[in-house]
């Protein structure tokens, strides 16, 4: 008999500061049920709500979720539009609730290039929640990590050209300042459901020392128990950051 993990099993002194999740498997979840793919995304959004609540409750400082990648534009226009509409609905519905729960909305990616109604809603959410003091919900939208790194390089070059910084000033700390996540700690734990064992261009720079955790479950089936299992696994890992065992 296996014991279901519960919140009391967590070591409160080793709660990850930052958890990142690639919310994958929505399409396959829907297909297995004979439903349209968008039904999987709706079910995924519902799961996200419960995970956000739970992460805030256990004291996670940052929760990053991959909601829409720059590569997702390659999907059929119908699906892209449906995902964007879902995002809009989610934002309209959830922003006030997130605010009441003291959560700060942070977006990683070129969100200003999204359709105007979505960009406006995002802007409202960021503005409304910017003085909150609780968990940061970092939503990756219109985001691709390689594009982010290229943009950082370009912005750095502009600052070198304008004599704002010297080439000799460039180090890891300064480079971080040019990323969307400049104000966030790096993820400690990266979770990917759906059985895929890859990173898919998500926070490549930032996850250099993150612990990785995978599950076969599709995102719409992901439960608080799965998150607990991921955190418990994380708490049992030894993080050496390239050094030696203490
Ligand atoms: C990947 O599953 C999922 C996405 C591309 C979209 C994720 C979006 C949500 C969960 C909606 C909620 C998000 C917010 C912020 C409201 P997939 O379509 O690649 O699944 P598949 O690999 O099974 O086809």
Domain of 222, CATH number, reads: 3.40.1180.10
- Give the pLDDT band (50/70/90) at residue 113: very high
> How would residue 1 be classed by pLDDT, with cut points 50, 70 and 90?
low
Question: What is the structure's pLDDT at 244?
Answer: 85
98 is in which domain, residue-wise? 13-144+186-204+218-233
Give the whole-angstrom CA distance, residue 95 versus residue 84: 16
pLDDT tens string 153-209: 999 999 999 999 999 999 999 999 999 999 999 999 999 999 999 999 999 999 999
Report the nearest-CA residue for atom 3 of ligand 1.
Answer: 24
Q: Is residue 169 part of a domain?
A: no
Is the residue at 30 inside a domain?
yes
Q: Say which DSSP state 184 is in.
A: S
Which whole-number Å values give the CA distances from 7 to 63, 80, 102, 189, 215, in the listed order?
18, 37, 22, 17, 19
How many angstroms separate the CA atoms of 93 and 144, rounded? 26
Question: Across the chain, what does the average pLDDT equal?
Answer: 96
Residue 213 lies in a domain: no
**pTM of the entire structure?**
0.96
Instruction: Note whether residue 177 is domain-resident.
Output: no
Active site (catalytic) residues: 24, 72
Measured from the CA of 90, which atom of ligand 1 is nearest?
A: 16
Residue bearing the CA closest to ligand 1, atom 1: 24
Helix (H) or strand (E) holding 106: strand 104-108
Residue 7 lies in a domain: no
Give the separation between CA 103 and CA 130, rounded to whole angstroms: 9
Which atom of ligand 1 is the closest one to the Cα of 28? 23
133 within a domain of the structure (yes/no)? yes
Q: Is residue 159 part of a domain?
A: no
Is residue 1 included in any domain, yes or no? no
Atom 11 (ligand 1) nearest CA: 45
Place of tokens 């080439």: 167
Q: Over the range 106-134, which residues count as b (16 or more CB within 10 Å of their CB) and which as e?
A: bbbbbbeebeeebbebbeebeeebeebeb
Above pLDDT 90, what percent of the chain?
95
Domain count, the chain: 1
């Amino acid at each position: 008999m296996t014991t279901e993990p519960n919140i009391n099993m967590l070591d409160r002194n080793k709660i990850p500061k930052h958890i990142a999740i690639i919310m994958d498997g929505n399409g396959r979840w829907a297909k297995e049920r004979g439903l349209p793919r968008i039904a999987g995304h709706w079910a995924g959004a519902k799961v996200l709500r419960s995970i956000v609540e739970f992460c805030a409750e256990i004291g996670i400082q940052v929760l990053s979720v991959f909601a829409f990648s720059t590569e997702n534009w390659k999907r059929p226009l119908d699906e892209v539009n449906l995902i964007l509409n879902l995002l809009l609905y989610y934002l309209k519905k959830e922003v006030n609730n997130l605010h009441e729960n003291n959560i700060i909305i942070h977006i990683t990616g070129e969100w200003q290039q999204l359709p105007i109604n979505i960009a406006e809603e995002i802007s409202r959410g960021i503005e409304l929640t910017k003085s909150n003091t609780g968990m940061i919900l970092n939503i990756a939208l219109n985001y691709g990590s390689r594009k982010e790194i290229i943009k950082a390089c370009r912005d750095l070059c502009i600052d070198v050209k304008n004599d704002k910084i010297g080439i000799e000033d460039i180090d890891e700390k300064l480079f971080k300042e040019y990323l969307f996540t400049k104000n966030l700690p790096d993820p400690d734990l990266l979770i990917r459901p759906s059985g895929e064992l890859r990173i898919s261009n998500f926070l490549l720079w930032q996850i250099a020392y993150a612990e990785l955790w995978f599950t076969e479950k599709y995102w719409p089936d992901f439960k608080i128990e799965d998150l607990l299992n991921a955190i418990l696994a994380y708490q049992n890992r030894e993080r050496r950051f390239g050094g030696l065992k203490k």
